[in-house]
A and B are shown apart, each in its own frame.
Chain A
Amino acid sequence: SSELTQDPAVSVALGQTVRITCQGDSLRSYYASWYQQKPGQAPVLVIYGKNNRPSGIPDRFSGSSSGNTASLTITGAQAEDEADYYCNSRDSSGNHYVVFGGGTKLTVL
């Protein structure tokens, strides 16, 4: 099965823009979905598909993809955006599997 690779930690100054990336062969064929997880809470879907936000997700969250890399961009990061972020996609082997990235810890300075 495929693997998705994320940077373990990223930091951003309050109000600035940050990009969190996810790399893997499956991303050449499928879009990534992105999840935000705060301590002690379940993950929350923030981006899916080409660049879709579920209801209630602020528009400062956006997604993009190029080649084998998917990106989650937070434009104007807020203190409440400090969290772990995970990507996932369908497996590239053509079956029904799913794979998650290892997660990125975002710190807002």
Chain B
Amino acid sequence: QVQLQESGPGLVKPSQTLSLTCTVSGGSISSGDYYWSWIRQPPGKGLEWIGYIYYSGSTYYNPSLKSRVTISVDTSKNQFSLKLSSVTAADTAVYYCARVEIVERAFDIWGQGTMVTVSS
């Protein structure tokens, strides 16, 4: 079955760029039925949608983060990636990647999540 796995640095310095990659296994990222998404969860808080990408490269971002977020896709590697620039301590969170069913916008498969701490 389809599985997602996040990877990237667990510690990022303030003002730098956070970079994470999600590797999709057991299925193709080029399936036309899904978006591929990033979500984050600060410690002790709720879920925040960051954005998603279609395999063609079309992207949609949370308006509150849009100026700092870039999501890209590499279909040859079956991966998609997140870059979040100018990070502060407020960006400290568990970052999840997930597959999103397009019609209902249901996040049906999630990665295990990776903790990213912003600190000098």
Contact = CB atoms under 8 A, between A and B. Distances in A.
Given A98-B49, A100-B48, A100-B49, A43 B60 contact: no
B113 A42 contact: yes
Interface in A84-107: 86, 88-90, 95-103
Nearest to A89: B105
Interface stretch (A9-17, A44-52, A71-79): A44-52
Interface in B64-120: 96, 100-101, 103-108, 110-113
A23 interface: no
Chain B: interface secondary structure? strand
B60 A45 contact: no
B113 A95 contact: no
B106 A48 contact: yes
Nearest to A1: B63
Nearest to A35: B107
B2 interface: no
Nearest to B59: A96
Given A42-B112, A48-B101, A86-B46, A97 B62 contact: yes
A88 B52 CA distance: 15
A33 interface: yes
Given A1-B63, A97-B63, A103-B47, A88 B105 contact: yes
28 contacts: A1-B63, A33-B104, A33-B106, A33-B107, A42-B110, A42-B111, A42-B112, A42-B113, A43-B47, A45-B106, A48-B101, A48-B104, A48-B106, A49-B104, A86-B46, A86-B47, A88-B49, A88-B107, A89-B105, A95-B60, A96-B60, A97-B60, A97-B63, A98-B37, A98-B52, A98-B105, A100-B47, A103-B47
